């Protein structure tokens, strides 16, 4: 039996301390495998890294451990523990691949032989990211051993190509979507604010990588015979790279800053609250005495790192020093890394950089540049029950108030996960400023490793006590309100996301039924979208968006309907879930019917037939710019929602998710400006009063 509530947490924390040596040894076992994912390194080592990771997960009690692999792609490691009935599910992501060890002579210890000294564990991958995901595996193992189970359901996904850009992750997520079903996503690959000071990351920069090659000669020539008259490819390459930086510190690429937005007031306030020590920053970066910080004029260091684009030369080559001769080289090459920020398109930015490099080459040199790869930026608003639980857990685990930070790094897996799963994404990690990730002498602070495990224990407990209904409640940090310009003729929409079917459907009043019908009644009624847990949606359906019905005739047919457009509706047998959602709109209705049906206006069925399967609803209004995400849970509740307020035809409108899963549009007294705008335009009241008059055959909603 699983111990419940806070009573089990002290026992689990004691288990973490008691078994810390075991968990540290498991991490050392992982570090011993040189699983480098970069080109030119043995793929067998990368597979062995996945196999050892899987063995460690099995040994620590994780179930259903397996290697998942796409053709020609390094293996992923999957495992789960799914016995917490009715509790939220947490998906923990990490990666077992590492970057190359770099210069062997710069390491003070062997890169793949972990060595502990002065409270740190040295070795490639100790911090990035084997230590990161091991902290969460250890917390799960402590729960399973000390409490007999976890307060939440757990899934683990450990990737094998993160260090090369996670290029195949979107395809993997799409193919294995069912195994990644979750309510909260934890990504264990980011920095803490300082050693001993935890952080929750809310923003990542993107990345575009460009290779450039300058060629001037058909072959190297004697530098004495031709030097001074023949163009030097290496020198011209250096000129091109140097020309990319303007005097004010900005990147000198035409059009690059056109899509860069100024940080919002909330973000600027968030950055201003963070303490900054230049001495500590220089020490963490390994800057030598006399070197100066470089940044845009008038921009702080945190803002520069997290909200502004940057350009770095990450590789340059012409001829190795060893074996160099008195030659003018025929060509020279460089690899340039450009970091992008929110609203920038990585490929567009890369094309602008390529154009700058090739348009006016010095001395008529031949310059070739190409985009090698791109990684999208990611940002979120760190508010809501999941974020609050994470901040609370970090504070308890570390004994320090956590910082909300951005990151200048680019992590390829975040955007695909965030876009596909549409759940809260919690980015935490065990890296600190002195860990030297991606450099020689990478290390993990063992004190922070233990504190990270304790924080994971607290987070599992917090999420378990919140439950699915708790994750659905509005943030106690304040309502999310979005107001937009008043506009006539637009209604509130409902977006359905389902296997093979995506679309925005507006409705005067609607009820979707899996049998292929639509109920449209009088405009004042609130109508219900019902999806009990009976069976899968049949295949072979079509969805037709219809213009506003004029009436419902006595025979139960929708009269005056004209098809606007059609889209396929593909059914699937999907997990058992249920919800009940109410809405009231003023424009169109949607018709679901058999593909063989002739009429777009069928009879209204006497018995209501269900729509089954997991459904992601997104209620939004182009007028109010309301943007709400609702995930339907097994108990009929939803999560991921926020309050939103907007104006609609002169009346106030507020939509909020209730604990019982009912999406209720409420009539509110309009702001004076909205009401006056409505009077000026002759707008009428279009939101139904709450509670509505129920449809004759409708079942009553459960009370919130």
268-278 pLDDT, tens digit per residue, is 999 999 999 99
Q: Which residue has the tokens 């995506």?
A: 502
Burial class (CB in 10 A: 0-12, 13-18, 19+), 641: buried
Q: In this structure, are residues 193 and 274 in contact, taking their beta carbons and an 8 Å threshold?
A: yes
Q: In this structure, are residues 180 and 421 in contact, taking their beta carbons and an 8 Å threshold?
A: yes
- Distance separating alpha carbons of residues 604 and 581, to the nearest angstrom: 19
Q: What is the dihedral of CA 341, 343, 345, 349, to 10 degrees?
A: -60
Q: Which residue has the tokens 């700058």?
A: 356
Token pair, residue 702, equals 């459960």
Q: In this structure, are residues 562 and 484 in contact, taking their beta carbons and an 8 Å threshold?
A: no
- Distance separating alpha carbons of residues 648 and 623, to the nearest angstrom: 7
Token pair, residue 177, equals 């979507």
Q: In this structure, are residues 542 and 593 in contact, taking their beta carbons and an 8 Å threshold?
A: yes
Query: 607 Cβ partners below 8 Å, 6+ apart?
Result: none
- Distance separating alpha carbons of residues 452 and 458, to the nearest angstrom: 10
Residue 519 in this model has a pLDDT that exceeds 50: no
Residue 442 in this model has a pLDDT that exceeds 70: yes
Q: Which residue has the higher pLDDT, 509 or 70?
A: 70
Q: Which residue has the higher pLDDT, 115 or 169?
A: 115
Q: Are strands 492-498 and 501-506 parallel, antiparallel or unpaired?
A: antiparallel
Helices (H), 158-262: 169-175, 223-226, 233-242
> Can you give the pLDDT at residue 518?
32
Residue 684 in this model has a pLDDT that exceeds 70: no
- Distance separating alpha carbons of residues 387 and 355, to the nearest angstrom: 42
> Can you give the pLDDT at residue 473?
63
Average pLDDT over residues 152-163: 96
Strand, helix or coil for residue 265:
helix
Average pLDDT over residues 310-329: 94
- Distance separating alpha carbons of residues 434 and 451, to the nearest angstrom: 17
- Distance separating alpha carbons of residues 555 and 552, to the nearest angstrom: 8
Q: Which residue has the tokens 């035809």?
A: 649
Q: How far, CA to CA in Å, does 397 sit from each of 40, 155, 195, 400, 401?
A: 41, 22, 14, 8, 10
Residue 25 in this model has a pLDDT that exceeds 80: yes
Which long-range CB contacts under 8 A does 433-439 form with residues at least 24 apart? 433/191, 433/194, 433/195, 433/280, 433/281, 433/283, 433/284, 433/285, 434/195, 434/283, 434/284, 435/126, 435/127, 435/128, 436/286, 437/127, 437/128, 438/99, 438/128, 439/102
- Distance separating alpha carbons of residues 196 and 13, to the nearest angstrom: 18
Q: How far, CA to CA in Å, does 76 sit from each of 126, 414, 437?
A: 19, 16, 22
Helices (H), 256-326: 265-272, 278-285, 301-307
Question: Average per-residue pLDDT in the chain?
Answer: 74
- Distance separating alpha carbons of residues 128 and 115, to the nearest angstrom: 16
Q: In this structure, are residues 190 and 411 in contact, taking their beta carbons and an 8 Å threshold?
A: yes
Confidence band (pLDDT; 50, 70, 90) for 419?
Answer: confident
Out of 379-383, 488-492, 683-687, the most confident range is 379-383
Average pLDDT over residues 182-192: 94
**CA-angle at 86, arms to 422 and 701, nearest 5°:** 80
Residue 394 in this model has a pLDDT that exceeds 50: yes
Q: In this structure, are residues 509 and 584 in contact, taking their beta carbons and an 8 Å threshold?
A: yes
List phi, psi (to 5°) of 311.
Answer: -130, 130
Say how many CA atoms lie within 13 Å of 370 toward its Cβ. Answer: 4
Question: Hey, what domains does the chain have and what are their CATH numbers?
Answer: 5-202+378-472 (3.40.630.10), 206-260+309-375 (3.30.70.360), 492-681 (no CATH)
| Least confident stretch, 156-160, 471-475, 594-598 | 594-598
Rg (alpha carbons) of the chain, rounded to whole number? 29
Taking Cα atoms as reference points, which of 129, 186, 618, 260 lies closest to residue 414? 186
Residue 425 in this model has a pLDDT that exceeds 60: yes
Q: Which residue has the tokens 């994404």?
A: 425
Burial class (CB in 10 A: 0-12, 13-18, 19+), 439: middle
Confidence band (pLDDT; 50, 70, 90) for 416?
Answer: confident
Average pLDDT over residues 127-139: 97
> Can you give the pLDDT at residue 2?
52
Q: Which residue has the higher pLDDT, 198 or 645?
A: 198
Helices (H), 327-445: 346-359, 385-398, 414-421
| Least confident stretch, 12-21, 467-476, 548-557, 576-585 | 576-585
No. of helices (H) and no. of strands (E), the chain = 15, 35
| Least confident stretch, 94-108, 408-422, 557-571 | 557-571
Q: What is the pLDDT of residues 472-494, one digit of tens each?
A: 765 444 332 222 222 222 222 33
Token pair, residue 198, equals 């935890």
Confidence band (pLDDT; 50, 70, 90) for 6?
Answer: low
Helix axes 20-31, 8-18, angle to 10 degrees: 50
Q: Which residue has the higher pLDDT, 581 or 595?
A: 595
- Distance separating alpha carbons of residues 229 and 216, to the nearest angstrom: 12
Confidence band (pLDDT; 50, 70, 90) for 652?
Answer: very low
> Can you give the pLDDT at residue 5?
54
**What b/e readout covers 474-499, taking b as 16+ CB neighbours within 10 angstroms?**
bbeeeebeebeebeeeebbbbebebb
List phi, psi (to 5°) of 628.
Answer: -125, 135
Query: 273 Cβ partners below 8 Å, 6+ apart?
Result: none
Residue 323 in this model has a pLDDT that exceeds 80: yes
Residue 294 in this model has a pLDDT that exceeds 90: yes
Q: In this structure, are residues 592 and 541 in contact, taking their beta carbons and an 8 Å threshold?
A: yes
Confidence band (pLDDT; 50, 70, 90) for 279?
Answer: very high
Q: Which residue has the higher pLDDT, 6 or 439?
A: 439
Confidence band (pLDDT; 50, 70, 90) for 540?
Answer: very low
Q: What is the pLDDT of residues 325-379, one digit of tens each?
A: 999 999 999 999 999 999 999 999 999 999 999 998 999 999 999 999 999 999 9
Burial class (CB in 10 A: 0-12, 13-18, 19+), 684: exposed
Q: In this structure, are residues 383 and 452 in contact, taking their beta carbons and an 8 Å threshold?
A: no
Q: Per the omega criterion (within 30 degrees of 0), is the bond before 610 cis?
A: no
Taking Cα atoms as reference points, which of 128, 158, 130, 138 lies closest to residue 28? 130
- Distance separating alpha carbons of residues 4 and 87, to the nearest angstrom: 12
Q: How far, CA to CA in Å, does 399 sit from each of 224, 402, 451?
A: 67, 9, 9
Query: 40 Cβ partners below 8 Å, 6+ apart?
Result: none
Give the chain's largest Cα–Cα span: 100
Q: How far, CA to CA in Å, does 401 sit from each of 1, 193, 197, 455, 675?
A: 34, 11, 7, 12, 44
Average pLDDT over residues 304-315: 96
Query: 676 Cβ partners below 8 Å, 6+ apart?
Result: none
Residue 411 in this model has a pLDDT that exceeds 70: yes
DSSP-assigned beta bridge partners for residue 666: 654
């Amino acid at each position: 039996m699983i111990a419940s509530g806070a009573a089990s947490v002290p026992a689990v924390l004691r288990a973490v301390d008691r078994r810390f040596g075991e968990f540290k040894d498991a991490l050392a076992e992982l570090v011993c495998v040189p699983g480098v994912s970069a080109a030119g390194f043995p793929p067998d080592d990368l597979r062995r890294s996945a196999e050892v990771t899987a063995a460690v997960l099995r040994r620590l009690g994780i179930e259903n451990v397996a290697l998942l692999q796409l053709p020609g792609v390094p293996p992923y490691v999957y495992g789960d523990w799914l016995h917490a009935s009715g509790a939220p599910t947490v998906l923990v992501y990490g990666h077992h691949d590492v970057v190359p060890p770099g210069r062997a002579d710069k390491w003070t210890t062997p890169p793949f032989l972990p060595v502990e000294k002065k409270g740190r564990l040295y070795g490639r991958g100790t911090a990035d990211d084997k230590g990161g995901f091991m902290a969460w595996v250890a917390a799960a193992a402590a729960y399973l051993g000390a409490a007999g189970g976890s307060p939440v359901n757990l899934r683990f996904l450990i990737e094998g190509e993160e260090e090369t850009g996670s290029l195949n992750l979107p395809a993997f997520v799409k193919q294995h979507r069912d195994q990644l079903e979750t309510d909260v996503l934890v990504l264990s690959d980011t920095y803490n604010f300082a050693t001993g000071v935890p952080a929750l990351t809310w923003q990542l920069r993107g990345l575009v990588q460009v290779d450039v090659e300058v060629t001037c000669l058909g072959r190297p020539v004697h530098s004495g015979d031709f030097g001074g008259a023949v163009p030097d490819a290496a020198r011209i390459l250096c000129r091109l790279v140097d020309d990319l930086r303007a005097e004010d510190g900005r990147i000198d690429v035409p059009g690059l800053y056109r899509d860069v937005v100024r940080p919002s007031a909330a973000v600027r306030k968030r950055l201003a609250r963070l303490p900054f020590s230049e001495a500590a920053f220089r020490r963490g970066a390994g800057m030598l005495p006399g070197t100066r910080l470089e940044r845009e004029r008038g921009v702080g260091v945190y803002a520069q790192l997290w909200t502004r684009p940057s350009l770095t030369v990450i590789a340059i080559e012409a001829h190795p020093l060893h074996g160099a001769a008195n030659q003018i080289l025929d060509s020279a090459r460089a690899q340039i890394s450009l970091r992008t920020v929110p609203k920038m398109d990585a490929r567009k930015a890369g094309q602008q950089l390529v154009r700058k490099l090739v348009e006016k080459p010095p001395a008529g040199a031949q310059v070739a540049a190409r985009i090698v790869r791109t990684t999208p930026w990611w940002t979120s608003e760190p508010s809501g029950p999941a974020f609050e639980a994470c901040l609370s857990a970090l504070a308890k685990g570390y004994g320090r108030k956590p910082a909300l930070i951005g990151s200048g790094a680019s992590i390829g897996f975040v955007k695909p996960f965030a876009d596909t799963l549409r759940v809260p994404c919690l980015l935490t990690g065990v890296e600190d400023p002195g860990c030297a990730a991606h450099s020689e002498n990478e290390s993990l602070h063992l004190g922070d490793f233990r504190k990270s495990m304790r924080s994971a224990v607290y987070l599992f407990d917090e999420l378990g006590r919140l439950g699915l209904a708790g994750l659905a409640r509005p943030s106690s940090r304040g309502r999310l309100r979005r107001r937009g310009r008043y506009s006539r003729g637009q209604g509130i929409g409902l977006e359905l996301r389902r296997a093979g079917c995506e679309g925005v459907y507006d409705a005067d009043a609607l009820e979707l039924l899996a049998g292929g019908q639509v109920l449209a009644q009088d405009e004042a009624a609130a109508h219900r979208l019902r999806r009990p847990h009976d069976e899968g949606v049949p295949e072979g359906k079509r969805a037709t968006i219809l213009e506003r019905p004029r009436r419902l005739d006595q025979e139960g047919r929708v009269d005056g309907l004209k098809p606007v457009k059609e889209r396929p509706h593909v059914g699937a047998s999907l997990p058992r879930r249920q919800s009940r959602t109410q809405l009231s709109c003023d424009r169109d209705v949607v018709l679901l019917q058999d593909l063989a049906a002739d009429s777009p206006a069928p009879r209204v069925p006497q018995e209501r037939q269900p729509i089954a399967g997991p459904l992601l609803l997104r209620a939004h209004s182009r007028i109010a710019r309301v943007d709400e995400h609702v995930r339907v849970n097994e108990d009929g509740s939803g999560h991921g929602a926020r309050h939103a307020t907007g104006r609609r035809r002169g009346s106030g409108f507020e939509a909020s998710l209730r604990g019982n899963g009912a999406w209720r549009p409420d009539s509110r007294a309009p702001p004076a400006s909205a009401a006056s705008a409505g009077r000026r335009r002759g707008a009428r009241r279009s939101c139904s009063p709450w509670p509505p008059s129920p449809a004759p055959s409708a079942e009553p909603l459960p009370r919130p």
